[in-house]
A and B are shown apart, each in its own frame.
Chain A
Amino acid sequence: MTEYKILFTGTMRAGKTTAIASVSDVTPLSTDVANTDASVAKAQTTVGLDFGMLQLDTGDRVRLFGTPGQARFDFLWKVLVRNALGLIILTDNSRPDPLGDLAVYLEGFAAELQQIPCVIGVGRLEGSPSPGLDAYGDLLAQRGVLLPVLPVDVRRREDVLLLVDTLLAQIEANSWEAPA
């Protein structure tokens, strides 16, 4: 039995825990504590990790890890992302500077993004349409990074599945060998 992992990262309230729960076989194991950050209206927040899991019919497993959202836990990001199948970065478009938030993760995972598949899911666009999705594409283009950017409501399983599908498509593209 082999274990693989997919990493979910992003700011507080971006929906990492909800996204994992929407596809996990098991109720995600969370290490939540009371949120003491008064600037964020959230009762609980993940200070350690979220664990979800997919049990495959081959006997293998895919662990779904959610990173702590706060930047001060970025030391964990480097550890968690090692040998990950892919990375899903979730953003919250209702925050004051969601593009700045994304930049933190682009820098934090800069080395890994040279190799592993990654997709960006932008949440809360309906209630906070600015910046628009194309602004995210512009930011990535300015940084010379080419990643899929998709709108997402993590409460909708089909949206989360599209994020995972996009990761899988990247793995397929990486692995495919053109006929001679």
Chain B
Amino acid sequence: MGDLKLGVQSLPAAEAGLVRALLQLMAHGRAGVAPRWTFADQGPFDALVTDAATQPSSLPARAVLRLAQAGAQVAEADVVARPLRADALERWLDAVATRLASAPAAARTTVRSDDPRWKLRRWPPNELLRADAGRTRLATMLSRRALSVDELAQLAGVAPEKCRTFVQLLQSFELLVADAPPPEAPRALPAPPPAATTAAAPAAPAPAPAASRWSLVASIRRKLGLGGAG
């Protein structure tokens, strides 16, 4: 197994720096020991460290370590309370490396390539959504891009069976288009105008890359107390 890549997402800058520093210390102390973990600023990642509020199923990594608030009682294997300690990080990374090395190649992918992708052809009737936030989110994602059931489950953080039931419901009402084109690349918004805008409309920055959008969305969700679906 070659070097493995560890990234961070939705963490304050100081905490991201801590992860990077701990990784460098680990590398120094384990010189010559494989596999080696390296810090990556951009994906794809083998593992990510993120805030506990972030939905792990929506993150682009095969393993996610979530940091809970200081003093929190945690029982999940992939959650630790802050502050992140070097020994806790090293133990988790070793466990992840072992897991990745032992998983058969087919199991490393979470999406079955034979699953068709579906996209909404129109917004569903109200009777199908019934003011349910979870269904609204699933429909929203299917309105934006074509997704298989497994992809929808991963993106929305909802159990695959729930997604499959909802997709079947939409199919029964002929609301879905099958075999849609592959997912579009993240759309770029227009660049900000070079001239100053009016005083009443302060200029906003040019759109951030997709990875930064994840971090931004996660921080807005934390701010408003909006968790993931499912």
- Residues of A at the B interface (CB closer than 8 Å) are 2-5, 23, 48-49, 54-58, 60, 62-63, 65, 76, 79-80, 82-85, 115-117, 119, 132-134, 136-137, 140-141, 146-151, 161-162, 164-166, 168-180
Segment among B67-75, B76-84, B138-146 that sits at the interface with chain A = B138-146
Shortest C-beta distance, A59 to chain B (Å), equals 8
Shortest C-beta distance, A150 to chain B (Å), equals 7
Contact call A179/B111, Cβ cutoff below 8 A: yes
16 A-B contact pairs sorted by A residue (CB < 8 Å):
A3-B202, A58-B12, A58-B216, A58-B219, A76-B200, A82-B192, A82-B193, A83-B205, A117-B144, A140-B122, A150-B136, A164-B226, A166-B136, A168-B226, A170-B141, A179-B60
Contact call A76/B205, Cβ cutoff below 8 A: no
Segment among B19-27, B32-40, B125-133 that sits at the interface with chain A = B125-133
B164 within 8 A of A: no
Q: Which of B140, B206, B207 has the most CB of A within 10 A?
A: B140
A132 to B141, CA, bound (A): 23
Cβ contact of B58, chosen from A2, A83, A172, cutoff 8 A: A172
Cβ contact of A84, chosen from B110, B139, B197, B204, cutoff 8 A: B204
Cβ contact of A168, chosen from B133, B204, B220, cutoff 8 A: B220
B1 within 8 A of A: no
Contact call A79/B197, Cβ cutoff below 8 A: yes
When distances are taken between beta carbons in the complex, the residues of chain B under 8 Å from A137 are: 122-125
B6 within 8 A of A: no
Contact call B58/A141, Cβ cutoff below 8 A: no
B222 within 8 A of A: yes
Cβ contact of A56, chosen from B124, B141, B210, B219, cutoff 8 A: B219
Contact call A169/B131, Cβ cutoff below 8 A: no
- B residues 172-230 in Cβ contact with A at 8 Å: 183-184, 186-187, 189-190, 192-193, 197-198, 200-208, 210-211, 213-217, 219-226
Shortest C-beta distance, A138 to chain B (Å), equals 8
Contact call B110/A179, Cβ cutoff below 8 A: yes
A165 to B226, CA, bound (A): 7
Shortest C-beta distance, B50 to chain A (Å), equals 13
When distances are taken between beta carbons in the complex, the residues of chain B under 8 Å from A140 are: 122-123
The number of A-B residue pairs with CB atoms under 8 Å apart is: 175
Shortest C-beta distance, B212 to chain A (Å), equals 9
When distances are taken between beta carbons in the complex, the residues of chain A under 8 Å from B183 are: 176-178
B47 within 8 A of A: no
When distances are taken between beta carbons in the complex, the residues of chain B under 8 Å from A84 are: 204
- Residues of B at the A interface (CB closer than 8 Å) are 12-13, 43-44, 58, 60, 109-111, 120-126, 131, 133, 136-137, 139-141, 143-145, 147, 151, 154-156, 183-184, 186-187, 189-190, 192-193, 197-198, 200-208, 210-211, 213-217, 219-226
Contact call B216/A173, Cβ cutoff below 8 A: no
Contact call A83/B190, Cβ cutoff below 8 A: yes
A180 to B122, CA, bound (A): 28
Contact call B205/A175, Cβ cutoff below 8 A: no
When distances are taken between beta carbons in the complex, the residues of chain A under 8 Å from B208 are: 2
Shortest C-beta distance, B67 to chain A (Å), equals 13
Contact call A148/B140, Cβ cutoff below 8 A: yes
A177 to B225, CA, bound (A): 25
Which chain A residue lies CB-closest to B155?
A: A176
Cβ contact of A169, chosen from B60, B123, B137, cutoff 8 A: B137
Cβ contact of A57, chosen from B143, B211, B223, cutoff 8 A: B223
Shortest C-beta distance, B64 to chain A (Å), equals 14
Contact call B140/A169, Cβ cutoff below 8 A: yes
Cβ contact of B204, chosen from A23, A83, A149, A150, cutoff 8 A: A83
Contact call B145/A174, Cβ cutoff below 8 A: yes
13 more contacts with CB within 8 A, not counting A148-B143, A180-B109, are A4-B216, A57-B222, A58-B219, A62-B220, A76-B200, A82-B190, A137-B125, A146-B120, A148-B139, A166-B137, A166-B140, A175-B214, A177-B43
